[in-house]
C-alpha cells in the first residue's frame, strides 16, 4: 500500500496559534511525513469556513515543492467553477515545473452552499462551469502554440498558456466520484479516482472494482494506485482518548454539514448527501475512521488491503506529530510495497 496525507494547514480560530505558526507547523509536519515514508500530500480547497481550512492550495504546494524532494503534491480538490481557467492552468503548471514534475491535480465542481453563496455564484451553474474550465485546462496543456476559446462563461483570443507543465501530456488529473456511473465516466475520461471519506472497506472495494473494469474496458492497464481512499486517522491508547477523538471527528462533520446545506435544506446543484444526525456520524466514525491503537489500526488496514485498496490518504485533523511518527514507524513499514 501507499500512504499520503490529506487536508492541509489550518488558519487560526479562537485561541489557536497564529496563521503563520499554523502554516509553518504544517510544513514541518509534511517534511517529516516524507522522511517517514509517506508518498504524497493532497490539499483541500475551501473558503469562508470559519474553522480554518486551506484556501490557497497551489500557493502552499509551491512552498512544499521547495521543502520536499520526492512526495507527490496534490489537490483534493481545486473547485473549478470558482477559478479563471487560464490563471489556474498557469498556476498549476508552475507548481509542476518547480516541483520537478510532482503535481497531481485533483478537480471538482464543489458541494458547499456556503462557498457558492459567498462567491455570489448560483450552484446550478457549477456543472457547466466545471466542465468548461476542465476542457480549457486540458486544451491549454496539450495545444502547441496559440489557440482561442469561446465558451459560455469564458472567452480567450489567440492565447498561449505558460509555462508548459513538466509532466506530459499533463499532470495526472483526479476527480472525486461515488456512484457507479460517475466512476465509470472517470475511467473513460482518463482521470484518477478519489473516493469519499466514508464507506465500509467492502463498499470501497466494490467501487474500485467498478473503476478497474471501466479502465480496462478502455484498453488501458489498471494502476492500483490510481484510486485513492481518504480516511481520518488518530492514534490513541485509552477509551477516553478514543471518545475524545470521535467527538472531534463528529464536530468536524457537523461543521461541514452546516456549511454544505442552505438553511432551507438541499437544493438543486448541491450533491452533498449529508452525514445524518449525531448517532449516524458516530456510526460512521466507528466504521470508517482509523482511530485507535497501532494494533487496531493495523487490523483495520488489513481489511482495507484485502478489499483491494492500495492507496490511502490519511487526515489527522489535529495534525499530531507524535501520531504521525507512531504510524510511520509502527504501521507504515508493514504495508510498504516490496519494490519501494
DSSP per-residue codes, 217-278: HTTPPP-GGGEEEEEEEEE--SHHHHHHHHHHHHHHHHHHHHHHS-TT---TT-------SH
Q: In this predicted structure, what is the pLDDT of residue 52? A: 75
Q: Sketch out the chain's domains with CATH numbers.
A: 2-335 (3.20.20.30)
d(C-alpha 49, C-alpha 45), whole Å: 11
pLDDT along the chain (340 residues), means of 10: 90 63 92 97 93 90 98 97 98 98 97 94 96 98 97 98 97 95 97 91 96 98 97 91 81 77 62 65 77 95 96 88 95 80
CA 217 to each of CA 182, 186, 209: distance values in angstroms, whole numbers, following the listed order = 15, 12, 12
Compute the chain's Rg from CA coordinates.
20
Q: Are 60 and 54 in contact (CB under 8 A)?
A: yes
SS3 72: strand
Q: Are 39 and 4 in contact (CB under 8 A)?
A: yes
Q: How much is the pTM? A: 0.91
Q: In this predicted structure, what is the pLDDT of residue 249? A: 77
Environment class of 48 (CB within 10 Å of its CB; exposed 0-12, middle 13-18, buried 19+): middle
The CB-side HSE value for 119 (13 A sphere, CA atoms) comes to 18
pLDDT in tens, 12-67: 555 566 778 889 999 999 999 999 999 999 999 999 988 778 999 999 999 999 99
Q: In this predicted structure, what is the pLDDT of residue 339? A: 53
Q: In this predicted structure, what is the pLDDT of residue 257? A: 79
d(C-alpha 226, C-alpha 191), whole Å: 8
Q: Which residues pair with 174 in a beta bridge?
A: 106, 192
Amino acid at each position: 500500500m501507499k500512504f499520503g496525507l490529506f487536508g492541509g494547514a489550518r488558519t487560526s480560530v479562537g485561541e489557536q496559534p497564529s496563521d503563520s505558526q499554523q502554516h509553518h507547523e504544517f510544513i514541518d509536519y509534511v517534511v517529516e511525513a516524507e522522511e517517514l515514508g509517506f508518498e504524497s500530500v493532497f490539499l483541500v480547497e475551501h473558503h469562508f469556513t470559519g474553522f480554518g481550512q486551506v484556501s490557497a492550495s497551489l500557493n502552499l504546494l509551491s512552498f512544499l515543492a521547495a521543502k520536499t524532494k520526492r512526495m507527490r503534491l496534490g489537490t483534493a480538490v481545486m473547485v473549478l467553477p470558482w477559478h479563471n481557467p487560464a490563471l489556474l492552468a498557469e498556476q498549476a503548471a508552475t507548481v509542476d515545473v518547480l516541483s520537478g514534475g510532482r503535481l497531481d491535480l485533483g478537480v471538482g465542481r464543489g458541494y458547499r452552499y456556503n462557498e457558492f453563496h459567498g462567491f455570489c455564484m448560483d450552484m446550478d451553474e457549477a456543472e457547466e462551469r466545471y466542465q468548461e474550465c476542465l476542457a480549457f485546462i486540458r486544451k491549454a496543456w496539450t495545444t502547441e502554440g496559440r489557440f482561442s476559446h469561446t465558451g459560455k462563461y469564458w472567452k480567450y483570443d489567440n492565447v498561449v498558456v505558460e509555462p508548459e507543465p513538466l509532466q506530459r501530456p499533463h499532470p495526472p488529473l483526479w476527480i472525486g466520484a461515488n456512484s457507479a456511473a460517475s466512476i465509470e465516466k472517470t475511467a473513460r475520461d482518463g482521470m484518477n479516482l478519489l473516493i469519499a471519506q466514508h464507506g465500509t472497506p467492502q463498499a470501497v472495494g466494490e467501487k474500485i472494482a467498478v473503476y478497474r473494469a471501466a479502465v480496462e474496458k478502455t484498453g488501458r492497464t489498471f494502476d492500483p494506485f490510481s484510486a485513492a481512499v481518504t480516511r481520518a486517522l488518530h492514534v490513541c491508547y485509552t477509551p477516553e482518548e478514543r471518545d475524545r477523538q470521535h467527538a472531534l471527528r463528529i464536530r468536524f462533520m457537523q461543521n461541514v454539514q452546516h456549511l454544505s446545506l442552505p438553511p432551507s435544506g438541499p437544493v438543486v446543484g448541491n450533491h452533498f448527501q449529508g452525514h445524518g444526525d449525531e448517532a449516524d456520524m458516530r456510526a460512521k466514525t466507528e466504521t470508517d475512521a482509523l482511530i485507535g491503537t497501532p494494533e487496531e489500526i493495523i487490523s483495520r488496514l488489513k481489511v482495507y488491503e484485502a478489499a483491494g485498496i492500495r492507496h490511502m490518504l490519511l487526515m489527522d485533523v489535529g495534525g499530531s506529530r507524535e501520531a504521525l511518527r507512531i504510524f510511520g514507524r509502527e504501521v507504515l513499514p508493514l504495508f510498504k510495497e516490496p519494490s519501494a
